[in-house]
Amino acid sequence: MSTDFHSKEFDDGTRIKLEILREYLKQWLPVFLAGEKTYWKKIFIYDFFAGEGSDSIGNYGSPRIILEQLKNYCRNIIEKRIEVKVVFNEFKKTKVQKLKTQCDQQLFNCMSEEESGKYCPNKTETNKCTFELLIENQDFNDFFEQIFPQMLRIKEAPRFMFLDQYGIRHITEDVLHKLSQLERTDFIFFTSSSFARRFIENEEFKKYLNLTRKDFSEDKPYHCHRVIFEYYKSLLRPQDNLFLAPFSIKKNSNIYGIIFGTHHTLGMEKFLNICWKINKMTGDANFDIDDERINPNEPKLFEEFNIPSKIQLFENDLKERIQKGELNSNTEIYRYSLDSGFLPKHANNVIKELKSQGIIQKTFKTVAQDVHKIASPSFINQ
Ligand SMILES: C[S@@+](CC[C@H](N)C(=O)[O-])C[C@H]1O[C@@H](n2cnc3c(N)ncnc32)[C@H](O)[C@@H]1O
Protein backbone atom coordinates (compact mmCIF):
# COMPACT_ATOMS: atom_id res chain seq x y z
CA MET A 1 0.00 0.00 0.00
CA SER A 2 1.28 3.45 -0.86
CA THR A 3 2.15 5.75 2.02
CA ASP A 4 2.06 8.85 -0.11
CA PHE A 5 0.44 11.75 1.75
CA HIS A 6 -2.15 12.47 -0.94
CA SER A 7 -3.03 8.93 -1.96
CA LYS A 8 -5.06 8.29 1.21
CA GLU A 9 -7.68 10.21 3.15
CA PHE A 10 -6.28 13.01 5.31
CA ASP A 11 -6.19 11.94 8.96
CA ASP A 12 -7.63 13.95 11.87
CA GLY A 13 -4.30 15.65 12.54
CA THR A 14 -4.00 16.89 8.96
CA ARG A 15 -7.62 17.97 9.01
CA ILE A 16 -7.11 20.12 12.10
CA LYS A 17 -3.98 21.67 10.60
CA LEU A 18 -5.91 22.56 7.44
CA GLU A 19 -8.86 23.84 9.45
CA ILE A 20 -6.56 26.24 11.31
CA LEU A 21 -5.22 27.40 7.95
CA ARG A 22 -8.78 27.97 6.65
CA GLU A 23 -9.84 29.82 9.80
CA TYR A 24 -6.76 32.02 9.75
CA LEU A 25 -7.29 32.93 6.09
CA LYS A 26 -10.86 33.91 6.95
CA GLN A 27 -9.39 36.39 9.41
CA TRP A 28 -6.37 37.51 7.41
CA LEU A 29 -7.86 38.14 3.96
CA PRO A 30 -10.46 40.76 4.98
CA VAL A 31 -7.83 42.82 6.82
CA PHE A 32 -6.11 43.51 3.50
CA LEU A 33 -8.92 43.11 1.00
CA ALA A 34 -12.08 44.32 2.70
CA GLY A 35 -11.05 47.20 4.94
CA GLU A 36 -12.70 50.61 4.64
CA LYS A 37 -9.48 52.09 3.33
CA THR A 38 -7.01 50.39 1.05
CA TYR A 39 -3.50 50.81 2.37
CA TRP A 40 -1.78 48.15 0.29
CA LYS A 41 -2.06 47.76 -3.45
CA LYS A 42 -0.25 44.41 -3.59
CA ILE A 43 -0.63 41.34 -1.44
CA PHE A 44 1.03 37.92 -1.71
CA ILE A 45 0.04 34.42 -0.63
CA TYR A 46 2.50 31.54 -0.78
CA ASP A 47 2.02 27.82 -0.27
CA PHE A 48 5.57 26.50 -0.48
CA PHE A 49 4.86 22.76 -0.03
CA ALA A 50 1.56 22.70 -1.84
CA GLY A 51 1.10 19.00 -2.64
CA GLU A 52 -1.38 17.99 -5.36
CA GLY A 53 -4.56 19.77 -4.28
CA SER A 54 -6.60 17.21 -2.41
CA ASP A 55 -6.54 13.81 -0.68
CA SER A 56 -7.73 10.50 -2.14
CA ILE A 57 -11.41 11.32 -1.55
CA GLY A 58 -11.33 14.93 -2.67
CA ASN A 59 -10.88 16.75 0.66
CA TYR A 60 -9.22 20.04 -0.12
CA GLY A 61 -5.52 20.41 0.63
CA SER A 62 -3.93 23.76 1.43
CA PRO A 63 -3.74 25.23 -2.11
CA ARG A 64 -7.40 24.57 -2.81
CA ILE A 65 -8.37 26.00 0.59
CA ILE A 66 -6.50 29.18 -0.36
CA LEU A 67 -8.41 29.43 -3.67
CA GLU A 68 -11.70 28.64 -1.90
CA GLN A 69 -11.19 31.48 0.57
CA LEU A 70 -9.80 33.96 -1.91
CA LYS A 71 -12.80 33.73 -4.20
CA ASN A 72 -14.90 35.45 -1.53
CA TYR A 73 -12.91 38.61 -2.21
CA CYS A 74 -12.93 38.82 -6.03
CA ARG A 75 -15.35 41.72 -5.86
CA ASN A 76 -13.08 43.63 -3.44
CA ILE A 77 -9.99 42.85 -5.51
CA ILE A 78 -11.59 44.34 -8.61
CA GLU A 79 -13.27 47.32 -6.94
CA LYS A 80 -10.23 48.28 -4.92
CA ARG A 81 -7.81 47.44 -7.73
CA ILE A 82 -5.59 45.35 -5.50
CA GLU A 83 -2.94 43.18 -7.10
CA VAL A 84 -3.05 39.73 -5.51
CA LYS A 85 -0.35 37.24 -6.31
CA VAL A 86 -0.73 33.59 -5.28
CA VAL A 87 2.28 31.29 -5.51
CA PHE A 88 2.10 27.53 -5.08
CA ASN A 89 5.27 25.49 -5.06
CA GLU A 90 5.70 21.72 -5.05
CA PHE A 91 8.86 19.68 -5.51
CA LYS A 92 7.41 16.52 -7.08
CA LYS A 93 6.66 16.82 -10.78
CA THR A 94 3.76 14.37 -10.75
CA LYS A 95 2.13 16.30 -7.92
CA VAL A 96 2.61 19.62 -9.73
CA GLN A 97 0.76 18.27 -12.77
CA LYS A 98 -2.14 17.13 -10.61
CA LEU A 99 -2.12 20.43 -8.76
CA LYS A 100 -2.35 22.39 -12.02
CA THR A 101 -5.27 20.26 -13.21
CA GLN A 102 -7.09 20.60 -9.89
CA CYS A 103 -6.58 24.37 -9.70
CA ASP A 104 -7.77 24.85 -13.31
CA GLN A 105 -10.85 22.79 -12.55
CA GLN A 106 -11.57 24.67 -9.32
CA LEU A 107 -11.23 28.05 -11.01
CA PHE A 108 -13.38 26.91 -13.91
CA ASN A 109 -16.10 25.74 -11.50
CA CYS A 110 -15.81 28.99 -9.62
CA MET A 111 -16.32 30.99 -12.81
CA SER A 112 -19.42 28.94 -13.62
CA GLU A 113 -21.08 29.76 -10.32
CA GLU A 114 -23.97 32.14 -10.47
CA GLU A 115 -22.76 34.38 -7.66
CA SER A 116 -19.36 35.08 -9.22
CA GLY A 117 -21.43 37.35 -11.50
CA LYS A 118 -19.81 40.46 -12.79
CA TYR A 119 -16.86 40.21 -10.43
CA CYS A 120 -15.30 37.35 -12.34
CA PRO A 121 -13.37 38.67 -15.37
CA ASN A 122 -13.53 35.13 -16.75
CA LYS A 123 -17.22 35.75 -17.37
CA THR A 124 -16.25 38.25 -20.00
CA GLU A 125 -13.81 35.76 -21.47
CA THR A 126 -10.65 37.63 -20.63
CA ASN A 127 -9.49 34.26 -19.39
CA LYS A 128 -7.98 35.72 -16.25
CA CYS A 129 -8.75 35.47 -12.56
CA THR A 130 -8.92 38.52 -10.36
CA PHE A 131 -5.65 37.31 -8.88
CA GLU A 132 -2.50 35.97 -10.47
CA LEU A 133 -1.74 32.31 -9.81
CA LEU A 134 1.76 30.92 -10.31
CA ILE A 135 2.55 27.24 -9.83
CA GLU A 136 6.24 26.43 -9.39
CA ASN A 137 8.11 23.14 -9.32
CA GLN A 138 11.22 23.73 -7.19
CA ASP A 139 12.98 22.67 -4.07
CA PHE A 140 11.73 25.01 -1.32
CA ASN A 141 15.13 26.22 -0.12
CA ASP A 142 16.37 26.97 -3.65
CA PHE A 143 13.14 28.73 -4.51
CA PHE A 144 13.04 30.75 -1.30
CA GLU A 145 16.68 31.83 -1.75
CA GLN A 146 15.86 32.89 -5.29
CA ILE A 147 12.77 35.00 -4.50
CA PHE A 148 13.81 36.40 -1.12
CA PRO A 149 15.74 39.40 -2.55
CA GLN A 150 12.62 40.41 -4.52
CA MET A 151 10.50 40.09 -1.39
CA LEU A 152 12.93 42.23 0.52
CA ARG A 153 12.53 44.98 -2.05
CA ILE A 154 8.92 45.37 -0.92
CA LYS A 155 9.28 44.05 2.59
CA GLU A 156 6.30 46.05 3.86
CA ALA A 157 3.86 44.23 1.52
CA PRO A 158 1.28 42.01 3.26
CA ARG A 159 2.18 38.36 2.82
CA PHE A 160 0.86 35.09 4.11
CA MET A 161 2.99 31.96 3.87
CA PHE A 162 2.08 28.34 4.52
CA LEU A 163 5.11 26.08 4.92
CA ASP A 164 3.79 22.56 5.27
CA GLN A 165 7.06 20.64 5.09
CA TYR A 166 7.56 16.96 5.85
CA GLY A 167 9.81 16.59 8.92
CA ILE A 168 11.76 19.57 10.25
CA ARG A 169 14.52 20.23 7.71
CA HIS A 170 13.43 23.26 5.79
CA ILE A 171 12.67 25.89 8.42
CA THR A 172 16.19 26.65 9.51
CA GLU A 173 17.45 29.51 11.66
CA ASP A 174 18.35 31.33 8.46
CA VAL A 175 14.82 30.94 7.03
CA LEU A 176 13.27 32.13 10.31
CA HIS A 177 15.48 35.23 10.31
CA LYS A 178 14.62 35.91 6.69
CA LEU A 179 10.90 35.65 7.47
CA SER A 180 11.37 38.07 10.32
CA GLN A 181 12.74 40.69 7.93
CA LEU A 182 9.47 40.76 6.01
CA GLU A 183 7.65 43.11 8.27
CA ARG A 184 4.07 42.41 7.26
CA THR A 185 4.38 38.66 6.79
CA ASP A 186 2.35 36.12 8.76
CA PHE A 187 3.29 32.48 8.43
CA ILE A 188 2.40 29.00 9.61
CA PHE A 189 4.94 26.20 9.42
CA PHE A 190 4.68 22.53 10.28
CA THR A 191 7.14 20.34 12.22
CA SER A 192 7.22 16.60 12.96
CA SER A 193 8.06 17.11 16.61
CA SER A 194 7.99 13.49 17.88
CA PHE A 195 10.28 12.59 15.05
CA ALA A 196 12.72 15.33 16.08
CA ARG A 197 12.59 14.16 19.71
CA ARG A 198 13.31 10.57 18.70
CA PHE A 199 16.25 11.36 16.42
CA ILE A 200 17.70 14.41 18.10
CA GLU A 201 21.03 12.72 18.90
CA ASN A 202 21.47 11.83 15.25
CA GLU A 203 24.23 13.94 13.65
CA GLU A 204 22.09 14.58 10.56
CA PHE A 205 19.38 16.14 12.76
CA LYS A 206 21.76 18.37 14.64
CA LYS A 207 22.38 20.26 11.42
CA TYR A 208 18.79 21.47 11.57
CA LEU A 209 17.87 21.72 15.26
CA ASN A 210 20.44 22.59 17.88
CA LEU A 211 18.78 20.60 20.67
CA THR A 212 19.82 17.58 22.75
CA ARG A 213 17.93 14.73 24.38
CA LYS A 214 18.09 16.65 27.71
CA ASP A 215 15.94 19.43 26.27
CA PHE A 216 13.04 16.98 26.01
CA SER A 217 11.41 15.84 29.24
CA GLU A 218 11.42 12.03 29.58
CA ASP A 219 8.13 11.97 31.45
CA LYS A 220 6.34 14.47 29.19
CA PRO A 221 6.88 13.20 25.64
CA TYR A 222 3.65 14.94 24.63
CA HIS A 223 5.30 18.29 25.27
CA CYS A 224 7.84 17.81 22.47
CA HIS A 225 6.22 20.38 20.19
CA ARG A 226 6.36 22.94 23.00
CA VAL A 227 10.12 22.21 23.19
CA ILE A 228 10.55 22.72 19.45
CA PHE A 229 8.55 25.94 19.71
CA GLU A 230 10.74 27.22 22.59
CA TYR A 231 13.76 26.41 20.45
CA TYR A 232 12.50 28.55 17.57
CA LYS A 233 11.56 31.30 20.01
CA SER A 234 15.09 31.24 21.44
CA LEU A 235 16.43 31.94 17.94
CA LEU A 236 14.64 35.29 17.78
CA ARG A 237 16.74 38.41 18.14
CA PRO A 238 15.35 41.71 19.49
CA GLN A 239 15.33 43.20 15.99
CA ASP A 240 13.10 40.37 14.75
CA ASN A 241 10.13 41.84 16.59
CA LEU A 242 8.16 38.69 15.92
CA PHE A 243 5.45 36.90 17.90
CA LEU A 244 5.41 33.10 17.67
CA ALA A 245 2.76 30.66 18.90
CA PRO A 246 2.62 26.85 18.82
CA PHE A 247 -0.19 24.39 18.34
CA SER A 248 0.49 20.70 19.09
CA ILE A 249 -1.32 18.04 17.09
CA LYS A 250 -1.60 14.42 18.23
CA LYS A 251 -1.89 11.72 15.57
CA ASN A 252 -1.99 8.25 17.17
CA SER A 253 1.00 8.26 19.53
CA ASN A 254 2.95 10.88 17.59
CA ILE A 255 3.00 14.62 18.14
CA TYR A 256 3.29 17.07 15.29
CA GLY A 257 2.62 20.73 15.35
CA ILE A 258 2.44 24.07 13.70
CA ILE A 259 4.15 27.30 14.61
CA PHE A 260 2.53 30.58 13.73
CA GLY A 261 4.48 33.79 13.32
CA THR A 262 3.44 37.41 12.94
CA HIS A 263 4.83 40.89 13.56
CA HIS A 264 1.47 42.23 14.64
CA THR A 265 -0.52 41.90 17.87
CA LEU A 266 -3.74 41.74 15.86
CA GLY A 267 -2.48 38.75 13.85
CA MET A 268 -1.45 37.03 17.07
CA GLU A 269 -4.81 37.69 18.68
CA LYS A 270 -6.64 36.28 15.67
CA PHE A 271 -4.53 33.14 15.60
CA LEU A 272 -4.85 32.58 19.36
CA ASN A 273 -8.62 33.03 19.18
CA ILE A 274 -8.75 30.11 16.74
CA CYS A 275 -6.57 27.94 18.99
CA TRP A 276 -8.46 28.74 22.22
CA LYS A 277 -11.71 27.88 20.45
CA ILE A 278 -10.31 24.43 19.67
CA ASN A 279 -8.96 23.89 23.18
CA LYS A 280 -10.48 25.93 25.99
CA MET A 281 -8.06 24.51 28.57
CA THR A 282 -4.66 25.38 27.12
CA GLY A 283 -5.23 26.88 23.67
CA ASP A 284 -2.22 25.13 22.22
CA ALA A 285 -3.13 21.52 21.35
CA ASN A 286 -5.85 19.32 19.92
CA PHE A 287 -5.62 17.04 23.00
CA ASP A 288 -5.28 17.22 26.80
CA ILE A 289 -1.61 18.18 26.61
CA ASP A 290 -1.20 18.70 30.37
CA ASP A 291 -3.11 15.51 31.21
CA GLU A 292 -5.45 17.33 33.60
CA ARG A 293 -8.67 15.54 32.67
CA ILE A 294 -10.82 18.58 33.43
CA ASN A 295 -14.38 18.09 32.31
CA PRO A 296 -16.33 21.39 32.38
CA ASN A 297 -19.58 19.39 32.50
CA GLU A 298 -18.52 17.56 35.66
CA PRO A 299 -16.62 20.12 37.72
CA LYS A 300 -14.50 18.95 40.63
CA LEU A 301 -15.37 19.92 44.22
CA PHE A 302 -12.54 22.44 44.67
CA GLU A 303 -12.67 25.31 42.20
CA GLU A 304 -8.86 25.45 41.71
CA PHE A 305 -8.93 21.93 40.24
CA ASN A 306 -11.22 23.17 37.48
CA ILE A 307 -8.77 25.84 36.28
CA PRO A 308 -6.11 24.40 33.99
CA SER A 309 -2.64 24.76 35.50
CA LYS A 310 -1.39 26.55 32.40
CA ILE A 311 -3.93 29.34 33.04
CA GLN A 312 -3.17 29.43 36.79
CA LEU A 313 0.57 29.72 36.14
CA PHE A 314 -0.01 32.53 33.67
CA GLU A 315 -2.31 34.44 36.03
CA ASN A 316 0.23 34.20 38.89
CA ASP A 317 3.07 35.25 36.62
CA LEU A 318 1.10 38.20 35.23
CA LYS A 319 0.07 39.37 38.75
CA GLU A 320 3.68 39.27 39.87
CA ARG A 321 4.93 41.22 36.88
CA ILE A 322 2.25 43.89 37.31
CA GLN A 323 2.94 44.20 41.04
CA LYS A 324 6.69 44.42 40.49
CA GLY A 325 6.10 47.19 37.94
CA GLU A 326 7.56 45.22 35.04
CA LEU A 327 4.35 45.72 33.07
CA ASN A 328 3.20 49.28 33.38
CA SER A 329 0.43 49.84 30.94
CA ASN A 330 -2.54 48.31 29.24
CA THR A 331 -0.51 47.87 26.04
CA GLU A 332 2.38 46.18 27.81
CA ILE A 333 0.03 43.72 29.53
CA TYR A 334 -1.65 42.97 26.23
CA ARG A 335 1.60 42.36 24.35
CA TYR A 336 2.99 40.21 27.16
CA SER A 337 -0.20 38.11 27.32
CA LEU A 338 -0.25 37.50 23.58
CA ASP A 339 3.44 36.67 23.56
CA SER A 340 2.74 34.08 26.28
CA GLY A 341 -0.08 32.54 24.21
CA PHE A 342 -2.97 34.11 26.15
CA LEU A 343 -5.89 36.28 25.11
CA PRO A 344 -6.98 39.68 26.44
CA LYS A 345 -9.80 37.94 28.35
CA HIS A 346 -7.21 35.98 30.38
CA ALA A 347 -5.35 39.19 31.21
CA ASN A 348 -8.64 40.89 32.09
CA ASN A 349 -9.33 38.35 34.85
CA VAL A 350 -6.06 39.34 36.49
CA ILE A 351 -6.68 43.07 36.03
CA LYS A 352 -10.15 42.77 37.60
CA GLU A 353 -8.74 40.88 40.58
CA LEU A 354 -5.94 43.40 41.14
CA LYS A 355 -8.43 46.26 40.85
CA SER A 356 -10.74 44.68 43.44
CA GLN A 357 -7.74 44.31 45.77
CA GLY A 358 -6.85 47.99 45.27
CA ILE A 359 -3.47 47.12 43.76
CA ILE A 360 -4.24 48.91 40.52
CA GLN A 361 -6.41 51.96 40.00
CA LYS A 362 -10.16 51.47 39.61
CA THR A 363 -10.09 53.67 36.50
CA PHE A 364 -7.70 51.37 34.71
CA LYS A 365 -9.44 49.87 31.70
CA THR A 366 -9.45 46.14 31.08
CA VAL A 367 -7.58 45.05 28.00
CA ALA A 368 -9.77 45.98 25.06
CA GLN A 369 -9.74 44.29 21.71
CA ASP A 370 -8.40 47.33 19.90
CA VAL A 371 -5.65 47.88 22.43
CA HIS A 372 -3.04 47.45 19.72
CA LYS A 373 -3.98 50.95 18.60
CA ILE A 374 -3.76 52.66 21.99
CA ALA A 375 -1.08 53.39 24.53
CA SER A 376 -2.20 53.86 28.10
CA PRO A 377 -0.47 55.54 31.02
CA SER A 378 0.99 53.87 34.07
CA PHE A 379 -1.69 52.59 36.41
CA ILE A 380 -0.19 51.12 39.56
CA ASN A 381 -1.56 52.69 42.80
CA GLN A 382 1.38 54.48 44.38
C1 LIG B 1 2.82 17.54 3.96
S2 LIG B 1 2.81 17.62 2.25
C3 LIG B 1 1.95 19.12 1.96
C4 LIG B 1 0.51 18.94 1.88
C5 LIG B 1 -0.27 20.13 1.43
N6 LIG B 1 -0.09 21.25 2.30
C7 LIG B 1 -1.73 19.75 1.37
O8 LIG B 1 -2.52 20.29 2.17
O9 LIG B 1 -2.06 18.90 0.56
C10 LIG B 1 4.44 18.11 1.86
C11 LIG B 1 4.63 18.35 0.38
O12 LIG B 1 5.93 18.92 0.18
C13 LIG B 1 6.51 18.36 -0.97
N14 LIG B 1 7.97 18.49 -0.82
C15 LIG B 1 8.84 17.63 -0.26
N16 LIG B 1 10.07 18.14 -0.28
C17 LIG B 1 9.99 19.36 -0.85
C18 LIG B 1 10.92 20.37 -1.12
N19 LIG B 1 12.21 20.23 -0.83
N20 LIG B 1 10.49 21.52 -1.69
C21 LIG B 1 9.18 21.68 -2.00
N22 LIG B 1 8.24 20.74 -1.77
C23 LIG B 1 8.64 19.59 -1.19
C24 LIG B 1 6.03 16.92 -0.99
O25 LIG B 1 6.10 16.35 -2.27
C26 LIG B 1 4.60 17.07 -0.45
O27 LIG B 1 3.68 17.20 -1.49
Q: Please give, one letter per residue, the 3-state secondary structure of the chain.
A: CCCCHHHCCCCHHHHHHHHHHHHHHHHHHHHHHCCCCCCCCEEEEEECCCCCCECCCCCECHHHHHHHHHHHHHHHHHHCCCEEEEEEECCCHHHHHHHHHHHHHHHHHHHHCHHHHHHCHHHHCCCCCCCEEEEECCCHHHHHHHHHHHHHHCCCCCEEEEECCCCCCCCCHHHHHHHHHCCCEEEEEEECHHHHHHHCCCHHHHCCCCCCHHHCCCCCHHHHHHHHHHHHHHCCCHHHCCEEEEEEEEECCEEEEEEEEECCHHHHHHHHHHHHHHCCCCCCECCCCCCCCCCCCCCCCCHHHHCCHHHHHHHHHHHHHHHCCCCCCHHHHHHHHHHCCCCHHHHHHHHHHHHHCCCECCCCCCCCHHHHHCCCCCCECC
How many domains would you assign to the chain? Answer: 2
Ligand 1 binding pocket mutation candidate from 4, 90, 170 (most atoms within 8 A of CB): 90
**In the beta sheet, which residues pair with residue 131?**
none
Stretch 312-326: mean pLDDT, rounded? 94
Task: Report pLDDT for 96.
Answer: 98
56 lines ligand 1 (CB under 6 A): no
Who wins on pLDDT, 284 or 331? 284
- Domain limit, last residue, from 227, 245, 278: 278
Residues 238 and 362 in one domain: no
Residues 356 and 255 in one domain: no
166 lines ligand 1 (CB under 6 A): yes
Q: Tell me which residue range forms the domain holding 149.
A: 5-278
Task: Report pLDDT for 157.
Answer: 96
CA distances from 18 to 50, 73, 259 (A): 12, 20, 13
pLDDT tens-digit series, residues 330-382: 889 999 999 999 999 999 999 999 999 999 888 777 776 556 654 444 444 43
Task: Report pLDDT for 378.
Answer: 42
Who wins on pLDDT, 218 or 263? 263
Task: Report pLDDT for 225.
Answer: 96
Least confident residue range of 14-18, 109-113, 182-186, 345-349? 109-113
How many angstroms is it from 342 CA to the middle of ligand 1? 31
Residue 34 — pLDDT band, cuts 50, 70, 90?
very high
Task: Report pLDDT for 298.
Answer: 66
Residues 67 and 199 in one domain: yes
Question: At 161, which amino acid appears?
Answer: M
Residue 216 in any domain: the answer is: yes
Stretch 177-189: mean pLDDT, rounded? 97
Residues 198 and 101 in one domain: yes
Count of alpha carbons within 13 Å of 95, Cβ hemisphere only? 22
Residue 131 in any domain: the answer is: yes
Task: Report pLDDT for 2.
Answer: 46
Who wins on pLDDT, 231 or 295? 231
Is the confidence at residue 290, as pLDDT, over 60? yes
Is the confidence at residue 158, as pLDDT, over 90? yes
Stretch 243-270: mean pLDDT, rounded? 96
Identify the residue whose C-alpha is closest to ligand 1 atom 15: 91
Q: If we measure between CA atoms, which residue out of 54, 55, 52, 126 comes closest to residue 96? A: 52
Residues 199 and 55 in one domain: yes
55 lines ligand 1 (CB under 6 A): no
Task: Report pLDDT for 376.
Answer: 40
Residues 130 and 12 in one domain: yes
Stretch 65-77: mean pLDDT, rounded? 95
Task: Report pLDDT for 299.
Answer: 65
Residues 107 and 182 in one domain: yes
164 lines ligand 1 (CB under 6 A): yes
Question: CA–CA separation, 177 vs 41, rounded Å?
Answer: 26
Phi, then psi, of 335 in degrees rounded to 5: -65, -45
Residues 59 and 192 in one domain: yes
Sign of the dihedral defined by the CA atoms of residues 324, 330, 336, 338, in that order: positive
Residues 266 and 195 in one domain: yes
Residues 160 and 239 in one domain: yes
pLDDT tens-digit series, residues 127-148: 689 999 999 999 999 999 999 9
Residue 178 — pLDDT band, cuts 50, 70, 90?
very high
Percent of the chain residues past pLDDT 90, beyond the cut: 72
The model's pTM is 0.93
62 lines ligand 1 (CB under 6 A): yes
Residues 363 and 218 in one domain: no
Is the confidence at residue 159, as pLDDT, over 50? yes
| Mean pLDDT (the chain, rounded) | 90
- Any residues with CB less than 8 A from the CB of 369 and at least 6 apart, and which? 269, 344
Is the confidence at residue 115, as pLDDT, over 80? no
Residue 249 in any domain: the answer is: yes
Who wins on pLDDT, 306 or 105? 105
Task: Report pLDDT for 370.
Answer: 58
Is the confidence at residue 213, as pLDDT, over 70? yes
Stretch 87-95: mean pLDDT, rounded? 98
Is the confidence at residue 20, as pLDDT, over 80? yes
Question: At 137, which amino acid appears?
Answer: N
